[in-house]
Structure 1
Amino acid sequence: MAGHINTHDLSRDETYIVSESSSVFGGTGGVGDDGEGDAPAVFMCGKCRRPVGDSLSWAGSDDRRNEILLKRVNENIVIGKEHFVSSKRQELGCLVRDLSCGGCGLTLGLVYTSTPKALDYKRSLFCFSVEHLESYVLGSGGQQVAALSREDRPVTFEYQEDVEQQITKIKSLAVTIGQRLLEIEVDLQCKSEN
């Protein structure tokens, strides 16, 4: 995730962060108790598994509403064209737009375009419902290294140099053995003539 090409970006100069704590769905990239930083996570649609964003654009989380907030998402997110007033009791007066997956159409969350003061921290952020997302942490323990036999390994410069050194040693050994056999053969011929 080096950069975001063709991304939606609704971030503002000032962003309120609800929670920067690490969770199953990302983190801030801070240092944990073990001294190592959190690995980046990729967030995917819970239905079709298309990637929709990553933890490099993390803005926080709202544990009470079971949401994560991102500053940017990729081109797999479709932002609804129509604004509507949120019908949730705790969000009365909020003007929002749907966020849906560009692959399967599943509604994944909301973008708040107008909020009361208590919800200003959500304005212009991509708010995803955790129950509609899957996540994948880069470098997670479930990964396996392919066990390649010597015949299946790709030829690299280091490998090629190693093979050439071994061939040179084998040639030198073969020449030495050949010379020794020649000496033995000459010795045997001399003994048989006498």
Structure 2
Amino acid sequence: MAEAEISNAVTENPVLVLCSSCRVPLADSGDLVETPEGANVILVKAVTADVEIDEEKVVSTYEQDVFSTLQVLYCKGCNSPIGALYVSTPRHLDYKRDLFNLDPRAVNCYCFDNPHKQRTRMNQKSVNLLNVPFMETQLKKCRTVLGVCERSIKEIEGLFQSSGRP
């Protein structure tokens, strides 16, 4: 989805930015920053906990952002590269500095208000072999939380019964 389409969608409805590989939420339209025309990047002020920032800082040698220092962003769900966080830039790229620069080819966008406006880069299944381990880990965490909640409810019920309340 192009950055212009996202800007148009944001004005109409809230948008959720998802990883195109595993569909993990990465950001939302509330943190979207206006992007200059032709920048071919989605700029956001904040991302979800599902985005991993590489600790290693690298100096770019690509022509469009040569001599910029950046950290690569990865999706925690499938470990796919999804963009960069620019630490230092030449003057003409100041608008990218200290913002999360998401690659439009690496993300999908979902419009909350109207499911027919759902935008995807390609038609794909929501579960694939790459994200099965992540999904299993999330299910295990959910089961753990559910077990803790069940024990807490039983303790509360026991307290009510011992106090003589119905």
Is the TM-score greater than 0.5? yes
- Would you say 1:127 and 2:108 are equivalent positions? no
Contact 1:47 1:132 (C-alpha < 8 Å) held by counterparts: yes
Pick the aligned partner of 1:86 from 60, 64, 83: 60
Contact 1:46 1:133 (C-alpha < 8 Å) held by counterparts: yes
Q: Which runs of 5+ in 2 are unaligned?
A: 118-166
- Would you say 1:25 and 2:6 are equivalent positions? yes
TM-score by length of 1: 0.55
Large movers: runs of 4+ above 3 Å? 26-30
Contact 1:94 1:113 (C-alpha < 8 Å) held by counterparts: yes
Tell me: CA distance 1:141–1:101, structure 2 relative to 1, closer, same or farther (3 Å): closer
Contact 1:112 1:125 (C-alpha < 8 Å) held by counterparts: yes
Pick the aligned partner of 1:100 from 74, 77, 83: 74
Can you list the C-alpha shifts for 1:132-171, whole angstroms capped at 9, x where unaligned? 100000111539xxxxxxxxxxxxxxxxxxxxxxxxxxxx
SS in 2 for 1:42: strand
Greater relative CO (CA pairs within 8 A, separation 6+): 2
Calculate percent identity across the aligned residue pairs: 30
Structure richer in helix, relative to its length: 2
- Would you say 1:64 and 2:30 are equivalent positions? no
**Cα RMSD, aligned residues only:** 2.2
- Would you say 1:41 and 2:22 are equivalent positions? no
Contact 1:24 1:135 (C-alpha < 8 Å) held by counterparts: no
The 2-side partners of 1:103 and 1:67 are apart by 21
Give the structure with higher Rg (CA): 1
Tell me: CA distance 1:80–1:39, structure 2 relative to 1, closer, same or farther (3 Å): same
Superposed displacement of residue 63, structure 1: 4.7
* Residue aligning to 1:19: none
How many corresponding residue pairs? Answer: 116
Q: Which runs of 5+ in 1 are unaligned?
A: 1-21, 31-37, 144-194
SS in 2 for 1:142: helix
* Residue aligning to 1:115: 89
